[in-house]
């Protein structure tokens, strides 16, 4: 499983990929729910299945922490 770090100052989760590369899941907090507003995979890693790895790590983190999330209108950054 990929290591995941919460960066509350930037309202995102960072997911370790290969080497020093990280994927990012950006959110807005709405009460007890995190509204996922954008995701980002480094350009050089796009098309290699890292989007799936990113979301699997994010979903596992949400489940283990008991947080709820909403995915709406995600736009690449």
* CA torsion angle 69 36 21 58 (round to 10): 10
- Residue partners of 40: CB distance under 8 A and separation at least 6: 23, 24, 26, 76, 77
If you average pLDDT over residues 70-75, what whole number do you get?
A: 59
Q: What is the pTM of this model?
A: 0.80
Q: What is the pLDDT of residues 17-56, one digit of tens each?
A: 989 999 999 988 888 788 888 899 999 999 999 988 888 8
What the block records as the tokens of 20 is: 């020093």
* Phi, psi angle pair for 20, to nearest 5°: -95, 5
| pLDDT at residue 77 tops 60 | no
Rounded to an integer, what distance in angstroms lies between the CA atom of residue 20 and that of residue 33? 30
């Amino acid at each position: 499983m990929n290591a995941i770090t919460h960066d509350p100052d930037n309202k995102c989760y960072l997911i370790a990929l290969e080497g020093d590369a990280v994927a990012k899941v950006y959110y807005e907090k709405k009460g007890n729910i995190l509204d996922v507003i954008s995701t980002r995979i480094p350009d050089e890693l796009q098309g290699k299945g890292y989007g799936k790895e990113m979301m699997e790590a994010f979903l596992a983190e949400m489940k283990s922490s008991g947080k709820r999330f909403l995915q709406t209108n995600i736009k690449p950054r």
